[in-house]
Structure formats: structure tokens, C-alpha cells
Amino acid sequence: GAVVSQHPSWVICKSGTSVKIECRSLDFQATTMFWYRQFPKQSLMLMATSNEGSKATYEQGVEKDKFLINHASLTLSTLTVTSAHPEDSSFYICSASDMGTGELFFGEGSRLTVL
Amino acid sequence: GENVEQHPSTLSVQEGDSAVIKCTYSDSASNYFPWYKQELGKRPQLIIDIRSNVGEKKDQRIAVTLNKTAKHFSLHITETQPEDSAVYFCAASGRGGADGLTFGKGTHLIIQP
């Protein structure tokens, strides 16, 4: 089946640094990818919709200058958490929509811990 | 925007019994309703989905029903097994999933042996 890969799967960083998370569709092309955040024992919250070749669309309450999204190709979207703080520690999950079938696939998730 | 409510938050059933999880949604434009199973620290796994042009869908022990008028949909798991223990999320989306998913808060399903 279709695979969406996220990297890194986990990362620990110091407060104030920036962290980049990659989301790749390995065997299909995706014009649209989505970024979600999941705090412990909570649900997934949609942060933004990443559109290939255009600016991302952010959900209400999500700071676009803090969570930079780049979707430069049909197989790659990146999320950069800038000036990370401990409250940004979370499980970040991407999903990609196969532009051929419309099916949605989730990445493995990236666990960010900010010290 | 869309709002999805999910109940119960925790459900404990005896092995072999049935489990039912219910969700309601607010946006009548939503037309895609997937259900996900998530184990601790892992990605959500799609277990079944239904689109608004269908009232019921079944896949072996799992079924989903949709009532568009009442804006609610339910997950039914029959003959539950220990490996069914997990957190289950319902979700809703417009444009067949192209709008991004709004998730319910999740149900922790516990199967008692």
C-alpha cells in the first residue's frame, strides 16, 4: 500500500532552537498534505493544509510564523517549528492525499521534546 | 468550522461482546467520515470509512452507520477481541477528505478478557 514517511521519528532540542520535520509520500504524488499535532492523551488537531507550490493554509489559532510549512514538490512537505519552547513538545503527524485516488495516508509521526 | 463530538471517552466491554462508539458533527457540508484506530505512540490506522451517499458500510466485524439528517455516525465492533483494545477516533471532512479531517476526542476501548 501507499506509504508516507516522516523524519525524524523523534527529536529532542533545546528551547529557542528550530526543528524541521519532513513528510514524504514514497510511491504517490500529493498536491495536498496536512499537518496535525497531538498532545498526550488527546486527539489530533489539524494545524495547517500544505499545498504544493503555494502558501499553506493555517487553522485558527496556529501561528504561521512559528510553524513554517513548505511544500516544494509533489512528494515532500516540511514543517519547521521555529524558536521552539517546551509547550511545543508534542507528536506531530502529517497526512498526504494521493492526487490520483484521493486516498489519505498518515505518516508515522514525529515526537518533539523541547527542553 | 466543523465540530465533532465523540462518546463515550472510555468504553470497557467483555471479550466477545459488541462495542458501539458514537459521533456527531456540525457541518452539513461534511461528506466523508473515517474511523481510525490508534495505538500508543503510533500513527492512526484507518479501519473503515463512509461517505454521505451511503447509510451503512460493513467490513467483517466492523460496521459504520451514518444518519445525515441527524448528523451522527456510529462505529460498531462485534465479537470483540483483546487486540481491539486501542483508542478510536472518528473524523469528518468536506470534499471527500480533501479539506483535512476534524477529529473527535477519541474513545479508549478496553476489552476485558
Please report where in the chains the cell 524541521 appears, as a residue: A20
Contact state of B43 with A109 under an 8 Å Cβ cutoff: yes
* Predicted pLDDT at A103: 84
pLDDT attached to residue B105: 96
| CA distance to A46, A64, A78, A113, B20, per residue, from A67 (Å) | 13, 5, 10, 15, 37
**What's residue A1's pLDDT?**
64
Q: Of the candidates B20, B66, B4, which has an alpha carbon nearest to the alpha carbon of residue A44?
A: B4
Which amino acid, one-letter code, is at B59? Answer: D
Please give the pLDDT value at position A52. 86
Buried b (16+ CB within 10 A) or exposed e, B36-49: bbbeeeebbeebbb
Report the chain A residue with the minimal C-alpha distance to residue B42. Answer: A108
Grid coordinates representing A49 are 493544509
Q: Report helix, strand or coil for B64.
A: strand
Among B41, B46, B100, the residue with its CB nearest the CB of A34 is B100
Nearest one of A91, A108, A92, A73 to A3, comparing CA atoms = A108
Residues from chain B that touch A95, judged by Cβ atoms under 8 A, are 101
**Residue A31: predicted pLDDT:** 85
For residue range A25-56, what is the model confidence (pLDDT) as tens digits?
A: 999 999 899 999 999 999 999 999 998 888 89
A110 and chain B in contact, CB less than 8 A:
no
CB within 8 Å: B43 and A60? no
Of A43, A45, A108, the CB nearest to B43: A108
